[in-house]
Chain A
Amino acid sequence: MSTTKSISMLDPAILVPALRGAVIKLDPRQLIRNPVIFVTEIVAVLVTVLFVEDLTAGIDAAFSGQIALWLWFTVVFATFAESVAEGRGKAQAESLKRGKSDLFAKKLLFPDQKDNRASEVISATMLKVGDIVLVEVNDLMPGDGEVIEGVASVNESAITGESAPVIREAGGDRSAVTGGTEVISDWLKVRITTKPGETFIDRMIALIEGAKRQKTPNEIALSILLSGLTLVFLIAVVTLYGLAAYSGTDLSVAVLAALLVTLIPTTIGGLLSAIGIAGMDRLIRFNVIATSGRAVEAAGDVDTLLLDKTGTITFGNRMASEFLPVADVSETYLAEAVLLASLADETAEGRSIVALANADFGLTEPDLAGKGAVPIAFSAQTRISGIDIGDRHIRKGAVNAVLKFVGLDKAQAGPEFNQAVDAIARSGGTPLAVAEGERLLGVVHLKDVVKPGIKERFAALRAMGIRTVMVTGDNPITAAAIASEAGVDDFIAEATPEQKLDYIRKEQTGGRLIAMCGDGTNDAPALAQADVGVAMQSGTQAAREAGNMVDLDSSPTKLIEIVEIGKQILMTRGALTTFSIANDVAKYFAIIPALFLSTYPELGALNIMGLHSPQSAILSAVIFNALIIVALIPLALRGVKYRPVGAAALLGRNLLVYGLGGLVAPFIGIKLVDLAVTALGIL
């Protein structure tokens, strides 16, 4: 996936509101959702109060003052991280809101009378489910609904960002319309299917804004771990007071506070929600709207991808791949004949023949003007196209139809011709016969062309531990041929909606998580059953309701990116948690000798970083602890890079970087901060 789009964190348009947001988020009522940072804030308040007390009592308060300051920085950096993550979404949500601000609906007065288009104009917010509205040229769609009458082209760029209009019509798979989109030709009668305030665009705004952001299950579990660790360290620090008193050291609250805040996992605590928000934001930039964070998380866990063959694995249209002449016909002659015969075939298959003749034989479309050429257009009934030029009657089409045209049955067609036809059929392709007059010229091999690069993607998926299953309506022979060419792990041939559903259920009983995408109403049950169901924006309302994500680009390969984003979110969380915990080792070595240096100068041996003084050591640990949050914001927003190399290799690498790195980095970092603090003479 393209992570090349850099996140311009320093963009003032995001930075300024983010700073304001960071301060607003200091409200403890909001902050309590994040226990680690909430504890940090309480501690910061406590140390601030003590600082003020010291100040008024005339005691040297420089140390407690600086500790207080950096504790506040720790909190603000954490809230800032969340604000920055929300920034981009906020801006996008604003533009969406403007689009839906003043929608009006032309509610039909007599919906039962088919030809009566009398309507009253009401505010879109007054609409009820089941109302029938009329939407005419230049009207904005007042709400989500289903077309019950009419055909129109609709500009959906407000939602999809795609400016090319799409066709919406009653019946079939293109009947769903979305509030806020604009009709640019003709008219539609639409039955409203969603209450105002709960429409697609409303949900999208809520999601993007993160206002109703629920913690995902894994996020909750991680928060529990972090809260637990916070408690453990709270116990360790509070009881240290007694142990120190026994040893004859009177620890001040400021240093205990410093110790506590450096030990509790503030790094991951501060960045946890930013990771989730940024992940959703990345999805939105991929034009995928997830109805819940849970689904995004599940995407990371997916074991099996169900992919439709057409449009996903193959280009969707059969394309000519070779010309096979029979008897004494030359290849070039056949190519020329079939080119002529296909000129009037406007289907994709016909065009592909022209393209192949052009590419492989350098033939261009001949100028037929004035030669009395009569093109015979392809029709689904005759299954033949062709051309008559003078007495040349060239035809190409389905084998049976062409044989009928030349007046032969299969046995009379000759072994060479039949062999070619059978070989093509066996390989999963479609043979087209070509004839001129009563003579068979040869066969065109039409085949489903697998998209270039798709095999490599499937191999990458396999390395991730994800199986790909191709779903197709083709017969098993054709399906098998394409499956092996595309490198999928399994296929469902002659698939019916029931079969898809059964397959998903079977896989799920075996303990696997399934993702699929679909657009049709008949896909809806399978979409609902799948753990991750991605509906196409171009699909029906039923499909969009059933899935837990909507792909605004309607591109089925998007599933692969979705899975990667899901994994990235989880990996980033794990990496920062590991990093955060590993950091604590160095902090102990900085702070513990500093705390007891007066009682036990011998503990100076633990000061392996050679920090300047007890006070600079403690302050350096606190400063490092705060700065590391800021330093890791870009990583949290961008996400840890996912490499499809298998779990063991991935874990080994990440453990090295974030585990060992987390162990070593703070030793260096704290030392550097200490050098800076000493050089500046702050203490």
Chain B
Amino acid sequence: MTFFGWLQIGFVLVAVLLLAKPLGLYLARVFTGERTFLFPVVDPVERGFLALAGVRAGKEQNWLGYAGSMLMFSLLGFLALYAILRLQNVLPLNPQGFPALPPDLAFNTAASFVTNTNWQSFGGETTMSHLSQMLGLTVQNFVSAATGIAVAMALTRAFMRSGGSAIGNFWVDLTRATLYVLLPLAIVVALVFVALGLPQSLDANFVATTLEGAQQTIASGPVASQEAIKQLGTNGGGFFNVNAAHPFENPTAFSNYLNIVAMLSISAALVYAFGQMVGSRRQGWALISVTVILLVIGTGAIYWAETYGNPLLSAVGVDPSMGNMEGKEVRFGQAMSALYAAVTTGLSNGGVNAMHSSLTPLGGLVPMFLMQLGEVLPGGVGSGLYGLVVFAILAVFVAGLMVGRTPEFLGKKIEAREMKLAMLAVLILPLTILGFTSVSAVAEFGTSSILTPGPHGLSEILYAYTSAAGNNGSAFGGLTANTLWYNCTLGIAMLLGRFAYIVPVLAIAGALVKKPRIAPSSGTFPTDRPLFAGLLIGIILILGGLQFFPALALGPVVEHFVMLAGQSF
């Protein structure tokens, strides 16, 4: 680890923190229906869309209505995407003449993009037509992110209001998230990316003759625009198979900075907006500080493990001064690869600029663990915020009792119903991750996909289901995931990880919105102070750690100790 490395990490995080407030205030204005500078441009479009969908402006929904609309919208998106992928051979904009996707892969991919996971069992540049990329995947990149934001805002409203049952209108929130937030930002970021040299073209791949005279096919396409929404929407699905390690997706150190800032910015700003909307900016900062502290710890752990390197390689004469450079790009270096790995997993983004499978065992453990914490650092757009709020509810419940009052968060009493729903949501991750991993680890159809037997193989499976259920989408490599078993189960894991979490969250919103907001007193557990931030960090780490410790012990942890004992996988 070097000072310069930490300086780079600090530079990115400070940029994110600086952006959080103005962007957060903007988000708060958008979702409380106040005018913003984009209003004259966007409002007619918004009204047009809503009229087209037959939504009466100002008519709000209760949680059931909201969840119903959200599920219906996602189902339709899923079906449309599935159809496009199955029919891409007969649809236009397919200059390479790619065939239709097989059903299991199409299911997996549709589930993956509808859930904002962007797990790719395929190589983008060798599988997807331009139409599938743009009309299929990119549309979902926008609307799945917008869905997350909408749900987070609905939950926020539950804390703002007391009484009634309305938590907003899903269609309005969805449209606003897309038109006011994602689209304008994506346009700006895409233009910057083009300026930085990312390709943006609708042509087929071109063929170049190399210096040796060989023919090389160079993949190209609308990369810059894809890349912009991939990061802003915490989607993470790359245009290219090697994702942000590819020089066309992420050509320079600066584009790498921009990538990380872009993926963190909306999620962090949403947390700030939460504080602003519930009337306590300090609350927003407290939650942001939790995520930043955990991210720094995670980054530091990866950074340390990677610069420490692999003693086995050093022993055979590899220069240890660079650390473990296997699977990393020299233009990013250890610090930015570590930060990228921590952020992409802490964030439910899933893009990678270094191959996680090639990280040292402990370096690989951290991204996996960050995902298992529930993608709340600061998590996917929207999903991170509501995940964080669920954790805050649990933290307040467990420890809040110790101030001698029944637990409350932001003036809302946390009672049996909220607890039931929060536990329901929390159960989803261990159930899907550990359940599918356990079956895959013993069944032939599971183990046959493993590239490296031994503990590393277990990590491959564990990482895949963790990534799917956490709606992350990054892969550990190695595992051959494009099989019937993995395509189907990973698809199911993604759907459960997304919707079996969102529905209880919306139900919590429905329960909380009815309750009166209790005025705080000096006897109230303050949730906007460092003490609460520390408590929340503790709860996140302990709950996450307790669930996954045995599995991690048998994967990366044992691999680490075995490596120290002289054996590598």
A residues contacting B by CB (< 8 A) are: 217-218, 220-222, 224-225, 227-229, 231-233, 235-247, 263, 297, 300-301, 303, 462-467, 510-513, 566-568, 570-571, 573-575, 577-578, 581-582, 584-585, 588, 592, 596, 600, 602-603, 605-606, 640, 642, 646-648, 650-652, 654-655, 658-659
Contacts and interface: CB of A to CB of B under 8 A. Distances in A.
B535 interface: yes
Nearest to A587: B546
A253 B457 CA distance: 25
Contacts of B455: 247, 600
Nearest to B551: A243
A605 B516 contact: no
Interface stretch (B115-123, B215-223, B314-322, B424-432): B424-432
A303 B405 CA distance: 10
A246 B458 contact: yes
Nearest to A643: B404
Contact of B435 (A218, A239, A600): A239
B561 A605 contact: yes
A647 B430 contact: no
Contact of A646 (B522, B561, B565): B522
B204 interface: no
Contact of A511 (B404, B430, B435, B519): B519
Given A228-B423, A239-B551, A602-B558, A570 B524 contact: no
A235 B434 contact: yes
B434 A655 contact: no
Nearest to A591: B550
B405 A301 contact: yes
> Which 3 A-B residue pairs are closest in the complex by CB-CB distance?
A465-B523, A574-B401, A567-B404
Contacts of B45: none
B549 A592 contact: yes
B56 interface: no
A512 B405 CA distance: 13
A269 to B, nearest CB: 14
B404 A570 contact: yes
B435 A235 contact: yes
Nearest to A263: B546
A382 B427 CA distance: 79
Given A592-B550, A658-B402, 10 more contacts: A221-B415, A236-B546, A244-B554, A465-B524, A567-B404, A571-B403, A581-B542, A647-B403, A652-B531, A654-B399
Task: Please report whether the interface of chain A is mostly helix, strand, loop or mixed according to DSSP.
Answer: helix
A222 B394 CA distance: 10
A17 to B, nearest CB: 31
B397 A647 contact: no
Contacts of B431: 235
B167 interface: no
B161 interface: no
A218 B550 contact: no
A659 B516 CA distance: 31
B239 to A, nearest CB: 35
A177 to B, nearest CB: 36
A267 to B, nearest CB: 13
Given A243-B458, A301-B406, A592-B550, A602 B564 contact: yes
A640 B401 CA distance: 11
B411 interface: yes
Task: Please report whether the interface of chain B is mostly helix, strand, loop or mixed according to DSSP.
Answer: helix
Contacts of B525: 647-648, 651
Among A297, A465, A571, the one with the most B-chain Cβ atoms within 10 Å of its Cβ is A465
B402 A585 contact: no
Contact of A578 (B402, B418, B424, B518): B402
A307 to B, nearest CB: 17
A606 B549 CA distance: 12
B245 interface: no
Contacts of A574: 398-403
Contact of B550 (A222, A231, A236): A236
Given A239-B437, A466-B523, A571 B401 contact: yes
Contact of B406 (A297, A581, A588, A654): A297
| Size class of the contact patch on chain B | 35 or more
Given A511-B517, A652-B531, A224 B402 contact: no
A578 B542 CA distance: 11
Nearest to A513: B518
Interface stretch (B226-234, B289-297, B439-447): B439-447
A603 B557 CA distance: 8
A648 B162 CA distance: 25
Contact of B521 (A241, A303, A606, A654): A303
A221 B458 CA distance: 37
B111 interface: no
Nearest to A463: B522
B565 A602 contact: yes
9 contacts: A239-B438, A303-B521, A571-B404, A582-B542, A600-B558, A600-B562, A603-B557, A647-B523, A652-B531
A650 B404 contact: yes
Contacts of A297: 406
B547 interface: yes
Contacts of A233: 546
A568 B561 CA distance: 46
A650 B518 contact: no
A239 B523 CA distance: 43
A584 B521 contact: no
B426 A228 contact: yes
B538 interface: yes
B192 interface: no
Nearest to A589: B549
A217 B415 contact: yes
A227 B426 CA distance: 12
B553 interface: yes
A552 to B, nearest CB: 24
B282 interface: no
B279 to A, nearest CB: 13
A573 B547 contact: no
Nearest to A592: B553
Contacts of B53: none
Interface string B439-466: 1011000010000000101100000000
B414 interface: yes
A600 B524 contact: no
Contacts of A512: 518-519, 521
B551 A240 contact: yes
Given A585-B546, A602-B565, A648-B526, A511 B403 contact: no
Given A236-B434, A247-B458, A647 B526 contact: yes
A303 B562 CA distance: 58
B545 interface: yes
A510 B519 contact: yes
Nearest to B438: A242
B561 A603 contact: yes
Given A600-B562, A647-B522, A647-B524, A225 B404 contact: no
B442 A245 contact: yes
A606 B523 CA distance: 41
B273 to A, nearest CB: 24
A477 B517 CA distance: 35
A532 to B, nearest CB: 13
B437 to A, nearest CB: 7
A232 B427 contact: yes
Given A221-B415, A224-B420, A600-B562, A243 B550 contact: yes
B550 A240 contact: yes
Interface in B366-412: 394, 397-407, 411
B401 A462 contact: no
Nearest to B563: A602
Contacts of A603: 553, 557-558, 561
A635 B79 CA distance: 58
A220 B404 contact: no
Among B405, B538, B562, the one with the most A-chain Cβ atoms within 10 Å of its Cβ is B405
B416 to A, nearest CB: 4
B419 interface: yes
Contact of A642 (B404, B435, B549): B404
